[in-house]
Amino acid sequence: MIIGRKEELKLLKELRESNRSEFVAVYGRRRVGKTFLIREAFNYQFAFQHTGILDAPLSEQLKEFRESLYHAGVKRMAIPKTWSEAFHALERFLQRLPDGRKVLFIDELPWMDTPRSNFIRALDHFWNSWASARKDILLIVCGSATSWIIEHIVMNYGGLHNRLTRQIYLRPFCLRECEELCKSEKLGIPCIVTMDDLFV
């Protein structure tokens, strides 16, 4: 069950029902609930989902990307040698899917951008040359490294400049939402301060 996040859920629903391809960045502090929000909003149903690996080299990142393609339904393929090959493999897989909205969720995107990997260039090409030319793609990228997301995605002045169609900065719960969470989980914590308490 999701506590709060009404505006974020409303926006994600609009994006799911959009009649064009959408590119969305979700970012915020670690453990603030980004991944949970996205998974719950789409009922854990994605055409493709992948999570980057912390401190892993390019070879391991690409191997894990292939595993995510396997989980999505790709039968057999060699480990990509570059991110360009990896995204082309994703394109071919998505082209074989039935008509309808295809939600792609890539979590911890900053971890995938290893030194000299040309990850951003490949992501840029995937979106600009293929995904944005369609009407059925919803690409959601997420990451706890807020500064990286802002610098390389939100404020990108290269090929991804102004390519985001929406962005969500997920803030920590306010006091009322904290209280709501404690009640829903039956935590029984008496020290939760309500808004009324602040004005006594």
Q: Alpha-carbon distance 118 to 128, whole Å?
A: 15
Structure tokens that stand for 148 in this block: 């990286």
- Closest by Cα among 141, 164, 169, 138 to 18: 138
Q: What residues contact 149, with CB distance under 8 A and at least 6 apart? A: 25, 27, 109, 110, 141, 143
What pTM, to 2 d.p., does this model score?
Answer: 0.84
Sheet holding 22-27, edge to edge: 48-51, 102-107, 137-143, 22-27, 166-169
- Closest by Cα among 163, 151, 177 to 7: 177
| CATH code for the part of the protein at 6-169 | 3.40.50.300
> Domain residues of the chain, as ranges?
6-169, 174-200
Per-residue pLDDT of the chain (200 residues; tens, 9 = 90+): 665 678 888 999 999 999 999 999 999 887 678 999 999 999 999 999 999 999 999 999 999 999 999 999 999 999 999 999 999 999 999 999 999 999 999 999 999 999 999 999 999 999 999 999 999 999 999 998 989 999 999 998 888 878 899 999 887 655 555 555 556 556 665 544 444 443 33
